[in-house]
Every structure is written in structure tokens, then in C-alpha cells.
């Protein structure tokens, strides 16, 4: 069996990817439940309430991405550093602790859906923090696992070859893990609470996770199309500088209406408006490197493609587009306080949330899973199959469809609830009673089903393509 000879770090990576993928499936199922409840409010009433389905949907999202990010690092570490990952046994043990903790937390959410909001709840049920929901005991467990992961990365990175990619990842992962602490302490003032909570949410997705994507894109381009390390790493440093430059103060776009001082309007407006620039740079980066490699091949007289993993490359290119569209364009739409006054907390936000998380992170992490399938099965050139093509088309088409439906629904809310009715209680309900809103919710459900069918095909492809004889070995 090929997996017996697989480097231990890469083996651990495949474990991380596997659990990530299962959680991805769970995320979509809970999303479908929540979307059905928008259309049929009585669906699963008091069995799996909307609040619980939604919590599970968005927390599974964050957790599967964190798992796949850890997996990506364990996968590339031996390639980049040229040595075996140090402390891998501890890494493997922590993996099982992580999986067990997540499983317990999910079961508790499903079995304990209502209860008092007191100290015991915070310790054993949940803390009430959207996206990073966890009982406190699990929070401490997550910190221990994250420290172990960072230790693996640092010990290996310091001893092995120090490429730009590894150096950036080392700095980035310390920030990524450290920021988690900002979401762990409890205050009974909701403004203060939200203030710190955004340090995790915004500074993750718009700073540390984006830098992570830059590093993974660099690694992927080198592995898949043989891009020149010098060029790729030069871009990486530029992106890191820009991402941190705009992303950190860009946090102000979440401080407009939560009771923070008014100077955040100007700071948030300016810096968050600059945020799409590094996303354009990342977009150009992928296409430029691709073009450059293709050009060099043509000059050398090779007409054959040089991409050694077609499905992964498709997902990486989709990442460049998706990040730019979902975070850059859909984010920019509502980032100025003058606009956000009307769009804040509408389905428009949800449209942006879906396209950004999908475009910027789901895509590239799925790409990394294909790179792992290729490596695990010793495949020289991994080709597309019917299911890989249908999977990517249905998933990307489905999410784009949901985004359009949500954008239209949000538009109705902006016009009716906010502009016309002045954000009153009655306006809130009138906005949702409109025909366009209702149809938007129907289409979101339909497109969600398309996405889920695409997911099933993706599962089939990832599980079977490694043994498919069409690939070059």
C-alpha cells in the first residue's frame, strides 16, 4: 500500500483533510436545514431549531477550515524544509484529542438546545460567540492543540531549510493562534464583547487567513506548474505587507454601530476600502505565474500542458477569482459606513459571507486535498475526471447561485426595511414579506441543493480518483 511509505507528516495531513471533509459535509447539511426553515418555518421545530442548525452550520465551517489549514501545513512542511516534521508523534496525539473534543461539542449542541445562560453554561455548553462557539473547556483544549501545532511548525521550520513560504507561515500561524485568545474572556458588556470578538473573526479572515492563502497559493503554484520560487515568493512578501497594512485597521468596518467611538467610521472606511487591493494582487499573481510558465513552455516547443494536477489547479484558479469576487467586490460593496448603514445585517451580509468564505478558503483547501490525493497515490499527472468536473461546476455554480439569490433578498431588505420604512420593527417584517425576498429564499434552497449534490460528487472523486488508471504515474 502506498500509504505505508507516506511520510508521517503527510499521513497526519491526510487525517486532517479527512475529518475536515466530513465536517464540510455536515456544514452543508445543517445549512440545508436552516435554509429549509426560511421557506418552511415549522420544519424540525423543537427537534433541530434554526438557532442550533445555524450555529452548527457556521461553526462546522470554521472548524473544517482550521482542520484543512493544519492539514495543508503538515502536508507541505517536509517538502519545504527538506526534513521530517519534528514532534510528529505529539502532533498525531493532539489530532485525536482535537477530533474527540469537536465530536463531544457537536453532540452537546444537538442534545442541549435550550437552557439557562449562566457560568455552567459557559463552561460546559457554549459561550455565545458566533463562528467560534465552544464551551470553555473546549477553548482550553483548542489552545493546547494549536500550541502543539505551532511547536511542530517552529521546530521543523527552524531546523530545516528556511524558505520564504515557511517563514511566512511561522509568523502567520503564531498570529492566527494568538488571536484566538481574544475571543476567550467573558465580559457582560455586549459592545466590549463584540469589540474583542472581531479581533478573532475579522483579523482571522481578512489578515491571518489571507496571508495563509498567499503562502499556500505560492506552494501550490510551485508544485503544480513549476512556477519560479523567486517570483512566487516576491509576490508573497508584497501580499503579506499589503494584507496586514489594510486588514488590521480595516477592522473598523465592524465598529461602525456597536458603540465604539465615531473615529472608527473614518478609519474603517479608509482602510477597509483598501482591502481589495491585495486581493487583486493575489489574483494577478496566480494568472501571471501561470501565463509565465505557459509562455516558457511554448518557447521551449512543448505544446503539452505543464499542469501536473488539473483538478487542484482548477480549484486554485477558482480561489483567485473567488477571493477577489467574494471578499474584494462583495466586501467592498458594503464597507463604507454610508452604505453599511443600509446593508448592515441584511441578507446582503450573508451573500458576502458565503461567497467570501467559499471563494477565499473552501476552494484552495479543496485544491490542497487534491494535491494530497496525488501525493498519497504517487501520481505524476492527476487528470480531471467526469466527477471532478461536475463537482467543481456544481459547487461553484451552486454557491454563486446562492450568492445572487441572497443579494437580491438583501436588496429588498435595504429598500423596504431600511430606506422606505426607516429600520423600524414593522419595516423589518415588511422587508421579509416581499415577493422578491421570498423567492430569494426559495432559490437559495435550490442552489444549496445543487451545491450539496456537487459535494457528493466531490466526495466520490476524492475517494476514487487515486486508483483511477487514467492518470500518469
Q: Which stretch binds ligand HEM (CB under 6 A): 178-186, 281-289, 344-352, 380-388?
A: 344-352
253 part of the interface to ligand HEM, by CB under 6 A: yes
b/e sequence 374-387, b meaning 16+ C-beta within 10 Å = bbbbebebbbbbeb
Near Fe ion by CB under 5 A: residue from 202, 285, 354, 418: 202
Query: Across the strands, what pairs with 382?
Result: 309
DSSP character string of 39-63: HSTTTTTTTS-HHHHHHHHHHHHHH
User: Please, what is the minimum distance in Å from the beta carbon of residue 450 to Fe ion?
Assistant: 28
Question: Are 173 and 185 spatial neighbours (Cβ–Cβ below 8 Å)?
Answer: no
Near ligand HEM by CB under 6 A: residue from 78, 160, 164, 276: 276
What does the alpha-carbon distance between residue 425 and residue 191 come to, in Å, rounded to a whole number? 22
352 part of the interface to Fe ion, by CB under 5 A: no
Near ligand HEM by CB under 6 A: residue from 452, 453, 459, 468: 452
Near ligand HEM by CB under 6 A: residue from 129, 285, 354, 418: 354
Nearest-CB residue for Fe ion: 202
Question: Are 152 and 170 spatial neighbours (Cβ–Cβ below 8 Å)?
Answer: no
Interacting residues of 286 by C-beta distance below 8 A, sequence separation 6+: 217, 221, 316, 317, 319, 320
Near ligand HEM by CB under 6 A: residue from 81, 208, 272, 413: 272
Using CB under 6 A as the binding rule, the residues of this chain from 190 to 249 that contact ligand HEM are 205-206
Q: Which stretch binds Fe ion (CB under 5 A): 83-91, 206-214, 391-399, 432-440?
A: 206-214
Q: Is 128 left (phi over 0), alpha (psi -120 to 50) or beta?
A: left
| Contacted entry of ligand HEM, Fe ion, none for residue 350, CB cut-off 5 to 8 Å set by kind | ligand HEM
352 part of the interface to ligand HEM, by CB under 6 A: yes
Using CB under 6 A as the binding rule, the residues of this chain from 402 to 441 that contact ligand HEM are none
What does the alpha-carbon distance between residue 207 and residue 269 come to, in Å, rounded to a whole number? 17
Q: Is 134 or 251 the residue whose CB approaches Fe ion more closely?
A: 251
357 part of the interface to ligand HEM, by CB under 6 A: yes
Near ligand HEM by CB under 6 A: residue from 12, 13, 20, 28: 28
The Cβ-side half-sphere exposure at 185, using a 13 Å CA radius, reads 9
Q: Is 200 or 409 the residue whose CB approaches Fe ion more closely?
A: 200
What does the alpha-carbon distance between residue 473 and residue 461 come to, in Å, rounded to a whole number? 18
Composition of the chain by helix, strand, coil, percent to 5: 80, 0, 20
User: Please, what is the minimum distance in Å from the beta carbon of residue 196 to ligand HEM?
Assistant: 14
353 part of the interface to ligand HEM, by CB under 6 A: yes
Alpha-carbon distances, residue 454 vs 37, 56, 152, 359, 449 (angstroms)? 22, 21, 35, 16, 9
DSSP state for residue 205 in the 8-state scheme: I
What does the alpha-carbon distance between residue 37 and residue 268 come to, in Å, rounded to a whole number? 35
Q: Which stretch binds ligand HEM (CB under 6 A): 346-354, 407-415, 420-428, 457-465?
A: 346-354
Near ligand HEM by CB under 6 A: residue from 13, 20, 26, 34: 34
Query: Across the strands, what pairs with 381?
Result: 472
Using CB under 6 A as the binding rule, the residues of this chain from 76 to 105 that contact ligand HEM are none
State the residues that interact with ligand HEM by CB under 6 A: 28, 31-32, 34-35, 38, 54, 57-58, 61, 130, 205-206, 253-254, 272, 275-276, 327-328, 331-332, 334-335, 340, 344-345, 349-350, 352-354, 356-358, 360, 362, 399, 448, 451-452
State the residues that interact with Fe ion by CB under 5 A: 202, 206
Amino acid at each position: 500500500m502506498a500509504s505505508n511509505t507516506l511520510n508521517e507528516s503527510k499521513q497526519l495531513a491526510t487525517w486532517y483533510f479527512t475529518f475536515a471533509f466530513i465536517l464540510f459535509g455536515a456544514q452543508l447539511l445543517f445549512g440545508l436545514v436552516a435554509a429549509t426553515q426560511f421557506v418552511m418555518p415549522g420544519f424540525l421545530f423543537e427537534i433541530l431549531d434554526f438557532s442550533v442548525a445555524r450555529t452548527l452550520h457556521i461553526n462546522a465551517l470554521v472548524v473544517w477550515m482550521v482542520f484543512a489549514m493544519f492539514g495543508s501545513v503538515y502536508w507541505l512542511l517536509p517538502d519545504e524544509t527538506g526534513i521530517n516534521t519534528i514532534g510528529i508523534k505529539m502532533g498525531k496525539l493532539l489530532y485525536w484529542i482535537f477530533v474527540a473534543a469537536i465530536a463531544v461539542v457537536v453532540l452537546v449542541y444537538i442534545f442541549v438546545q435550550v437552557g439557562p445562560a449562566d457560568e455552567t453554561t459557559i463552561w460546559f455548553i457554549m459561550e455565545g460567540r458566533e463562528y467560534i462557539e465552544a464551551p470553555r473547556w473546549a477553548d482550553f483544549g483548542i489552545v493546547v492543540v494549536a500550541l502543539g501545532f505551532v511547536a511542530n511548525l517552529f521546530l521543523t521550520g527552524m531546523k530545516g531549510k528556511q524558505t520564504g513560504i515557511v517563514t511566512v507561515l511561522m509568523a502567520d500561524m503564531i498570529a492566527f493562534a494568538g488571536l484566538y485568545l481574544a475571543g476567550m474572556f467573558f465580559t457582560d458588556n455586549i459592545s466590549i464583547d463584540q469589540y474583542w470578538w472581531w479581533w478573532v473573526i475579522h483579523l482571522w479572515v481578512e489578515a491571518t487567513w489571507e496571508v495563509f492563502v498567499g503562502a499556500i497559493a505560492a506552494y501550490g503554484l510551485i508544485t503544480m506548474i513549476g512556477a519560479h520560487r523567486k517570483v512566487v515568493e516576491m509576490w508573497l512578501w508584497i501580499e503579506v505587507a499589503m494584507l496586514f497594512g489594510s486588514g488590521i485597521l480595516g477592522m473598523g468596518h465592524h465598529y461602525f454601530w456597536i458603540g465604539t467611538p465615531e473615529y472608527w467610521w473614518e478609519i474603517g472606511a479608509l482602510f477597509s476600502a483598501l482591502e481589495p487591493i491585495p486581493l487583486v494582487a493575489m489574483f494577478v499573481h496566480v494568472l501571471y505565474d501561470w501565463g509565465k510558465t505557459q509562455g516558457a513552455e511554448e518557447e521551449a516547443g512543448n505544446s503539452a500542458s505543464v499542469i501536473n494536477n488539473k483538478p487542484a489547479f482548477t480549484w486554485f484558479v477558482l480561489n483567485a477569482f473567488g477571493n477577489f469576487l467574494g471578499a474584494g467586490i462583495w466586501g467592498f460593496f458594503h464597507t463604507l459606513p454610508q452604505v453599511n448603514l443600509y446593508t448592515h445585517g441584511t441578507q446582503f451580509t450573508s451573500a458576502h459571507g458565503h461567497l467570501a468564505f467559499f471563494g477565499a478558503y473552501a476552494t484552495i483547501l479543496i485544491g490542497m486535498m487534491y494535491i494530497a490525493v496525488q501525493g498519497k497515490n504517487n501520481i505524476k499527472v492527476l487528470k480531471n475526471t467526469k466527477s471532478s468536473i461536475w463537482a467543481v461546476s456544481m459547487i461553484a455554480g451552486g454557491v454563486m447561485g446562492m450568492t445572487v439569490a441572497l443579494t437580491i433578498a438583501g436588496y429588498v431588505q435595504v429598500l423596504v426595511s431600511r430606506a422606505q420604512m426607516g429600520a423600524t420593527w414593522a419595516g423589518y417584517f415588511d422587508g421579509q414579506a416581499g415577493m422578491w425576498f421570498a423567492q430569494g429564499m426559495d432559490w437559495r434552497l435550490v442552489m444549496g441543493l445543487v451545491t450539496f449534490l456537487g459535494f457528493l460528487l466531490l466526495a466520490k472523486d476524492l475517494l476514487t480518483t487515486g486508483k483511477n488508471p487514467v492518470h500518469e504515474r
